[in-house]
Amino acid sequence: MRFGHFDDERREYVIDRPDTPLPWINYLGTEAYFGIISNTAGGYSFYRDARLRRLTRYRYNNAPFDFGGRYLYLRDPGTGEFWSPTWQPTQPELDEYECRHGMSYTQIASSYRNIRARVSYFVPLGETLEVWRLRLTNERAEAAELSVFSSVEFCLWDAQDDATNFQRNFSTGQVEVVDGVIYHKTEYRERRDHFAYFACSEPLAGFDTARESFLGPYRSWDRPIAVERGSSSDSVAHGWQPHGSHHVRIALQPGETREIGFVLGYWENPRDAKFDPPGSQTINKHMVRPVIARWLRQDTVDEGFRALREHWDNLLGGLQVSTPDGETDRMVNIWNAYQNMVTFNMSRSTSFYESGIGRGMGFRDSNQDLLGFVHMIPERAKERILDIAATQLATGGAYHQYQPLTKRGNNDIGSGFNDDPLWLILGVAAYLKETGDTSILEALVPYDNDPGTEQPLYDHLQRSLRYTLDRLGPHGLPLIGRADWNDCLNLNCFSETPGEPFQTTENATGGVAESVFIAGQFVLAARELAGIAALVGRPGQEYLDAAEKMSGTIAEHGWDGAWFRRAYDFHGNVVGSASNDEGQIFIEPQGMCVMGGVGVEDGTAATALASVRERLATPHGIILQQPAYSSYRVELGEISSYPPGYKENAGIFCHTNPWLMIAEAIVGNGDAAFDYYKRINPAAREAISEVHRCEPYVYAQMIAGRDAPTHGEAKNSWLTGTAAWNYAAITQWILGIRPELTGLRVAPVIPADWPGFTAVRRFRGATYRIEVRRGDERSLTVDGVAVSPDAVLPLAQAGTDVEVILTVS
Ligand code: BGC
């Protein structure tokens, strides 16, 4: 069952009923000011950091799930009836409803009692504000008088504090209304140089800035007293809950259309600004007023919207493909690339499943997100790499997360996830492959943001490898620390007295548990670093030797006979082996070892992949491990705390699936690689939206596994490494358009029944027009000249077009 359809022409997903199984959301903003917005206008906004600079309030885990947002009300004074044109929060029986989620904008349109409404929301490029544009048409035979009310609830900046520290915060709220603009200027402790504003293009009939005055005591947003009554009370909040609401009265002749603009924004005073009078924020208002005036004008909004569309045309123009499979094209050309931008910006901080409070930028997560983003805006990828590297510790280890606003390692979670440092090598390798910009390796970057500790980025990469080599366990495999990629495999939680954990997940760093996954990741990273060394004329043989040695250790202690083992626990017991009663085979080492090249020559890789097909593959994707753990095991930690079939305990953890697609491509099995790709492709799952439940236009982190009663149900959409890795799997390995250190390679491993495909790829300033076709013999021509089909394409002059024809048999 579908709840909408794709409009590929306009690059939109069109939702045709408001009550989707879960909120189907979109993101506003691409640079500094961001918001999440649902198909019924739910969600919130923030500046740079969803925790520390939250503009509007949102209550998570609410009922209904999606409640609180950028709401508008229309009221007909003739009947006293009022409704929300975006369905929430009044939930009217709309005659028509349509939500179009596009590239960084959302439009929600509806019709009720012959009043047609369309609200467009977007963040103009380069601005720290969002525009709401309401377009109203009177389709009645007679004139219509209407009241329009807006509503946002302000957050007192630090969302964590806002949600908990009421004894203080009920006394701190401050607002000011000047010339119809509502300024929210509550100070967050020491800060005195920023505020939010909410403005409307029309003369106001009234306003409210105190939530209680707008809603009325004992009421919620479904029937605010001001709307019911048809008049605001011009309330000014003193403490309690600052709120923003405008009231506008309009009259529409039959057939007449009117537009009303709203602007919600953030303003930060320049550091050296002088206040006049001292202590006031008057100067800010002088500075922000022209900005507000500009964005309340329709021509500016039209122009801003056009610029946003052009921006996305340009970004998506980096790679466009035309394959025999429409759902592949749709994801590669539009939605997967779009999701990559969102994961790059948000890491794992802000969605309807990530609170914006709990998690900042993940060290491992952000490095992986680069894989899908770097070709779009390499300069931002570079900046991100340098930010991440600056949080690395002098030991080569890493804070697991850092806060986007401060860019400092986050002590809440700390360090000790032993896979983290190796991801930095893979992130930097992706940047170098895309850009060829080796100067990044010389960039001076501190450790732990400590001035005076600056070293070239290359030194950081060396320390990343060294970190693993300095921490090998009894079998010569890397120590896992608190966990590796699988956060929930906490193998150093052991108990001296059965039933009583001596170590917990939080302090599980000291043990001797080892990870075969990190071993595979090490082989991959060491080979990448050797390639980078060769590129810049540095010695790299020791990295190759270390990779070789680690491969040997994997063969000796990490191979189980038909697949790669997962780990050894604190007691030296094997995890992910046929000798285990549960958790016999895990997906992660099969993918990572084969990606590192382990077992590809001697055939063990192919054996491992056959085991995955036999034991882990389901029609909804590949399960993380089998058999699921049926009870909690202290020696395994959190993984065994999930019910069977969910999350890391035998869920389909989608992030890992593309590793298997890549592995299948590496061993030359295009049918299997593409088959896995289709199983979790959200567009291909659109028709089963009642089962999948999450948005059909973006990947979700998890689909419930076959042990779960809800097998096939997705959760945690949007912010997942699944986006970047799937993009890499389909574009670089299945379609085979692969940036390498020395240039672009075209090496497709496509399904046997595909006649070929075409693609346009921007690479290092040149445009490659690629055609892959079938023929009797493999051949490659570049601008009509035959070259070896195994060659990397010769680097072309920036600004030129290159015609590439590859014939595969
Ligand atoms: C985290 C990843 C982690 C994955 C598997 C996700 O929630 O963001 O860093 O690799 O879970 O545990």
List, for residues 674-683, the tens digit of each pLDDT value: 999 999 999 9
408 and 391 in contact (C-beta within 8 Å)? yes
Tell me, what's the pLDDT at 344? 97
Strand pairing category for 700-703 and 81-83: unpaired
Classify residue 808 as exposed, middle or buried by CB count within 10 Å of its CB (0-12, 13-18, 19+).
buried
CA 222 – CA 239 distance, rounded (Å): 23
Predicted confidence at residue 405, as pLDDT, reads: 84
Phi, psi of 267 (to 5 degrees): -130, 130
How remote is the CA of residue 487 from the centroid of ligand 1, in Å? Answer: 6
User: For residue 133, what are the β-bridge partners?
Assistant: 120, 261
- Distance of alpha carbon 489 from the chain centroid: 23
Domain count across the chain = 2
Rounded to whole angstroms, the Cα distance separating 754 from 793 reads: 23
Which range of residues forms the domain containing residue 764?
Answer: 738-808
Residue 611 covered by a domain: no
At residue 187, the pLDDT reads 81
CA–centroid distance for 575 within its chain: 31
| Cα–Cα distance, 559 to 553 (Å, whole number) | 9
Question: Any alpha helices (H) in 196-270, and if so which ranges?
Answer: 211-215, 225-229
Q: Probe ligand 1: pick from 365, 636, 720, max atoms within 8 Å of CB?
A: 365
Q: In this structure, is residue 582 part of a structural domain?
A: no
484 CB less than 6 Å from ligand 1?
Answer: no
- Does any ligand 1 atom lie closer than 6 A to the CB of residue 308? no
Q: Is 362 in the pocket of ligand 1 (CB under 6 A)?
A: yes
Could you tell me if residue 185 is inside a domain?
yes
What distance in angstroms lies between residue 348's CA and the mean position of ligand 1's atoms? 9
Neighbours of 256 (CB within 10 A): 14
In the reported structure, the alpha carbon of residue 465 is separated from the centroid of ligand 1 by a whole-number distance in angstroms of: 21
Of the candidates 289, 313, 337, which is a domain's last residue?
313
- The CA-based angle 281-285-289, given to 5 degrees, is 175
Structural tokens at position 458: 């290359």
Question: Is 777 inside any structural domain?
Answer: yes
Q: Distance (Å, rounded) from C-alpha 547 to C-alpha 559?
A: 16
Does the CB atom of residue 369 touch ligand 1 within 6 A?
Answer: no
Q: Using the atom order of ligand 1, give the atom closest to the CA of residue 488.
A: 12
Distance between Cα 609 and ligand 1 center (Å): 23
Which of 44, 40, 48 lies closest to 58 in space, CA to CA?
A: 44
Q: Where are the alpha helices (DSSP H) in 681-788?
A: 689-692, 722-728
Residue nearest to ligand 1 atom 10, measured at CA: 485
Q: State the Cα–Cα distance between residues 210 and 197, nearest whole angstrom.
A: 15
How far is ligand 1, taken at its centre, from the CA of residue 485, in Å?
A: 6
Query: Is residue 487 within 6 Å of ligand 1 at its C-beta?
Result: yes
Say how many Å lie between the CA of residue 56 and the centre of ligand 1: 28
Ligand 1, residue 487: give the atom nearest the CA.
Answer: 12
Q: Which CATH number do you get for residue 253?
A: 2.70.98.40
Distance CA 242, CA 183 (A): 10
Q: Which helix (H) or strand (E) holds 552?
A: helix 541-553
Q: Name the strand (E) or helix (H) holding 550.
A: helix 541-553
Phi/psi class of residue 76: alpha, beta or left (left: φ > 0; alpha: ψ in -120 to 50)? beta
| Rounded Cα distance, 268 and 220, in Å | 32
- Which of 284, 313, 342 corresponds to the end of one domain? 313
The CA distance from 340 to 320, in Å, is 15
Reply yes or no: is the peptide bond before residue 794 cis, omega within 30 of 0: no
- One-letter identity of residue 607: T
The 8-class DSSP code of residue 729 comes to I
Q: Judge if the beta carbon of residue 488 lies within 6 A of ligand 1.
A: yes
> φ and ψ at 178, to 5 degrees?
-130, 125
Coil, strand or helix at 519: helix
Closest-lying ligand 1 atom to the alpha carbon of residue 489:
12
Q: Which of 716, 741, 745, 722 is nearest to 732 (CA)?
A: 745
Choose the residue to mutate in 487, 515, 587, 722 for probing ligand 1, maximizing ligand atoms within 8 Å of C-beta.
487
DSSP class of 481: B
Torsion angles phi and psi, residue 654, rounded to 5: -60, -30
Task: State the Cα–Cα distance between residues 236 and 429, nearest whole angstrom.
Answer: 55
The confidence score (pLDDT) of residue 479 equals: 96
Q: Which ligand 1 atom is nearest residue 716's CA? A: 7
Give 126's DSSP letter: T
Catalytic residue from among 208, 369, 487, 707:
487
DSSP codes of every residue in 424-469: HHHHHHHHHHHH--GGGGG-EE-STT-TT--EEHHHHHHHHHHHHH
For the chain, 809 residues long, the average pLDDT of each consecutive 10-residue run is 98 98 97 97 96 94 94 97 98 98 98 98 98 98 98 96 96 94 85 87 98 97 98 98 98 98 91 59 74 97 98 98 98 98 95 90 96 97 98 96 87 89 98 98 97 98 98 96 95 64 52 95 98 98 98 98 97 96 98 98 97 98 98 92 97 98 98 98 98 98 98 98 98 98 98 98 98 96 97 96 97
> Looking at the domain assignment, is residue 63 inside a domain?
yes
Q: Name the 3-class secondary structure at 287.
A: helix
Return the DSSP state at 649: B
Q: Is residue 161 part of a domain?
A: yes
CATH number assigned to the domain comprising residue 753: 2.60.420.10
Question: Which among 358, 315, 312 is positioned nearest to 28, based on CA atoms?
Answer: 312
E-state strands within 141-184: 144-157, 175-178, 181-184
- Out of 313, 348, 382, a domain closes at 313
- Cβ–Cβ < 8 Å for 660, 621: no
By the 8 A CB rule, do 144 and 251 touch?
Answer: yes
Nearest alpha carbon, ligand 1 atom 5: 486
How far apart CA 745 and CA 205 sit, in angstroms, is 63
Tell me which residue has its CA closest to atom 9 in ligand 1: 365
Cα-only R_g, the chain: 28
Name residues whose C-beta falls within 8 Å of residue 539's C-beta, 6 or more positions apart in sequence: 533
- CB-side neighbour CA atoms (13 Å) of 350: 31
Asked whether residue 350 is domain-assigned, the answer is no
Strand partners, 111: 96, 116
487 is catalytic: yes
Domain assignment present for 88:
yes
State pLDDT tens for residues 589-622: 999 999 999 999 999 999 999 999 999 999 999 9
Separation between Cα atoms, residue 413 and residue 358, nearest integer Å:
10
Q: How far is the CA of 746 from the centre of ligand 1 (A)?
A: 31
Calpha distance 587→148 (Å, rounded) = 54
Q: Is 648 in the pocket of ligand 1 (CB under 6 A)?
A: yes
Q: Is 486 in the pocket of ligand 1 (CB under 6 A)?
A: yes
Looking at residue 274, its pLDDT comes to 61
Give residues with Cβ within 8 angstroms of 327, minimum separation 6. Answer: 678, 681, 683, 684
Question: Cα(28) to centroid of ligand 1, in Å?
Answer: 24
What's the rounded Cα separation, in Å, for the pair 38 and 67? 10
Question: What is the share, in percent, of the chain residues with pLDDT greater than 90?
Answer: 91
For position 501, what pLDDT does the model report? Answer: 47
To test ligand 1's pocket by mutation, which of 636, 641, 655, 725 has the most ligand atoms within 8 angstroms of CB?
Answer: 655
Look at the block and give the residue holding tokens 């005076």: 452
- Nearest-5° angle of CA 613, CA 616, CA 618? 85
Model confidence, pTM: 0.96
* 725's tokens: 């890795």
